[in-house]
Amino acid sequence: MEIQDGPELCFPQLLNTSCRKPTPHRFDAVLLNIVMSSISVLTVVLNLLVIISVSYFRQLHTPTNILLLSLAVSDFLVGIMLLPGEIYRQTQCWFLGDLICSLYYYVVYIVFSTSVGDMVLISIDRYVAICHPLHYPTRVTVTKAKLYVCICWFCSVFYSSVVFKDVLNQPGITNSCYGECVVVISYIAEIIDLVLNFFGPVTVIILLHMRVFVVAVSQAHAMRSHTAAVTHQHSVTLSKRKSELKAARTLGVLVLVFLICFCPFYCVILAGTSPHTANLVFLMFYLNSCLNPLIYALFYPWFRKAVKHIVTLQILQPGSSEVSML
């Protein structure tokens, strides 16, 4: 029997319509997959610690932490679903079917949109806390924060459903061959996505944090000049303001890291660069989900204390949810 030489196919019986098998044995591909797998494991573990900490310890049920909890959930989904799916998509022929492929990209869009929405909410939260401190306790409450988070997730699901309507109705319509998982949205949808998921949110985030930075600097100046001549009552107020400014700095770092990892993602899409560059940018974007909990560990003593209680299983003790974390 004559054997044809040539590249291996995902579906050998479909000579003219089958995709070629990926070549994951190349050094750069192996290295990329090892890095992505490590990031995936770290992302799942670290964000799970954030989710348990904020959900379990009652003292951590603050409006800001509710927003961080929502961000941790989306980052957790990146680690447990999106990164493994991306590794599989790049190293194997797609044997899971066209419907699963469409659902995978659908979840990707939901998670990405929610992450962007969470960053906008975090920026608004800091803006109100720093620029309108007297109104913050009434304007931003735990109940309102939960409502805003639910609205954010609902809007992300609704928006992604509109964008992927045709793809979900006709799975595999954009695949060029059998064995690949590629989804291409319409040109109009790409333009809308750039406005709603990139230009709009990034503009709002930058403007809000510029305003927060200006006000925070002026408040820090005022506190330094009045520190020596304050009464005890005023010292309590100053202590609270210092706490708010520290939180603003920490969340400013969080947002800055997000923008550094997020902006190249859309710049590569706009520029249409090489697949190798695109892989690095996608890796950078996924890395952000792993960096967020590390930022909490670096700047938030309550997170380090909560992790210690979780790792040492002190949370299994009666009444441990009431332990002081702040």
When divided into structural domains, the chain yields a total of 1
| Average pLDDT estimate for 75-88 | 92
State the Cα–Cα distance between residues 61 and 137, nearest whole angstrom.
14
147-180 pLDDT per residue, tens: 999 999 999 999 999 988 888 888 878 777 888 8
Tokens of 120: 């906008």
Is pLDDT above 80 for 289? yes
State residue 114's pLDDT score: 94
Average pLDDT along the chain: 83
Of the given ranges (20-29, 242-251, 317-326), which has the lowest mean pLDDT? 242-251
Q: What is the DSSP secondary-structure string of 99-167?
A: HHHHHHHHHHHHHHHHHHHHHHHHHHHHHHHHHSTTTHHHHS-HHHHHHHHHHHHHHHHHHHHHHTHHH
Please check whether residue 22 lies inside any domain of the structure.
Answer: no
State residue 46's pLDDT score: 94
Please check whether residue 309 lies inside any domain of the structure.
Answer: yes
- Whose tokens are 């204390």? That residue is 305
State residue 274's pLDDT score: 52
Query: 272's torsion region: left (phi>0), alpha (psi -120 to 50) or beta?
Result: left
For residues 265-298, one letter each, b for 16 or more C-beta atoms within 10 angstroms of the residue's C-beta and e for the rest, the string is bbebeeeeeeeeebbebbbbbbbbbbbbbebbee
Please check whether residue 306 lies inside any domain of the structure.
Answer: yes
Q: State CA 281 to chain mean position distance.
A: 15
| Average pLDDT estimate for 114-135 | 90
Please name which of 77, 241, 73, 262 lies closest in space to residue 150, comparing C-alpha atoms. Answer: 73
- Whose tokens are 């009652």? That residue is 58
State the Cα–Cα distance between residues 111 and 153, nearest whole angstrom.
9
Is pLDDT above 60 for 320? yes
| Average pLDDT estimate for 179-187 | 82
Alpha helices in 164-231 (DSSP H): 165-169, 187-194, 200-226
State residue 160's pLDDT score: 92
Handedness of CA 199, 189, 285, 278 (dihedral sign): negative
State residue 1's pLDDT score: 37
11-54 pLDDT per residue, tens: 777 777 788 887 766 767 788 788 889 999 999 999 999 999 99
Please check whether residue 182 lies inside any domain of the structure.
Answer: yes
Is pLDDT above 90 for 7? no
Tokens of 109: 């869009």
What three-state secondary structure class fits 26? coil
Residues forming beta bridges with residue 9, ordered by sequence position: 20
State the Cα–Cα distance between residues 148 and 237, nearest whole angstrom.
28
Please check whether residue 12 lies inside any domain of the structure.
Answer: no
Please check whether residue 83 lies inside any domain of the structure.
Answer: yes
State the Cα–Cα distance between residues 28 and 36, nearest whole angstrom.
12
Handedness of CA 7, 12, 17, 21 (dihedral sign): negative
Is pLDDT above 60 for 190? yes
State residue 42's pLDDT score: 94
pTM of this prediction? 0.87
Please name which of 242, 238, 218 lies closest in space to residue 229, comparing C-alpha atoms. Answer: 238
What three-state secondary structure class fits 179? coil
Handedness of CA 48, 59, 71, 167 (dihedral sign): positive
Please check whether residue 70 lies inside any domain of the structure.
Answer: yes
What three-state secondary structure class fits 20? strand
Please check whether residue 61 lies inside any domain of the structure.
Answer: yes
| Average pLDDT estimate for 223-238 | 54
Is pLDDT above 80 for 291? yes
Containing domain of residue 204, as a range?
27-322
State the Cα–Cα distance between residues 70 and 51, nearest whole angstrom.
9
CATH number of the domain at 201, please.
1.20.1070.10
Of 9 and 222, the structure prediction assigns the larger pLDDT to: 9
* Cα separation of the two ends of the chain: 75
Tokens of 261: 């990892």
Q: Residue 201, exposed/middle/buried by CB under 10 A (0-12, 13-18, 19+)?
A: buried
Length of the chain in residues, anyone?
Answer: 326
